[in-house]
Amino acid sequence: MRHNRLNELRGDGLVARATRSVNSALFFIGALTLAGCGAWQATKDSTVSAAEWLFTTQVKSMNVELNGRAALNENATGQPLSTVV
């Protein structure tokens, strides 16, 4: 009887250790997932900020020079007239 009880205790200890190991592994995987999510979010935010800085420049003034042919907008005497753009 004592021998059977000892085997049962050993078996229960093995199950308890296995359960603890599985729980520890699941906790570790969950912690890595959450940490990875935060790292991914930080990387994405910095990449988006860099892209916005690079591709969206603020233009305060722009000088545009348009040259048309002299015969494009003539008056009766053949002199070119200015055109508002």
pLDDT digits (tens), the chain, 85 positions: 555 555 555 556 677 777 888 888 888 888 777 777 777 788 888 888 888 887 877 778 888 887 777 667 788 887 777 777 6
List the chain domain ranges.
Answer: 1-85
| Residue 56 and residue 48 in contact, taking contact as beta carbons nearer than 8 Å | no
How far apart CA 36 and CA 30 sit, in angstroms, is 10
Strand partners, 74: 80
How far apart CA 65 and CA 85 sit, in angstroms, is 11
Q: Which residues are CB-neighbours of 47 under 8 A, at least 6 positions away?
A: none
Q: Which residue has the tokens 């015969």?
A: 71
Beta strands in the chain (DSSP E): none
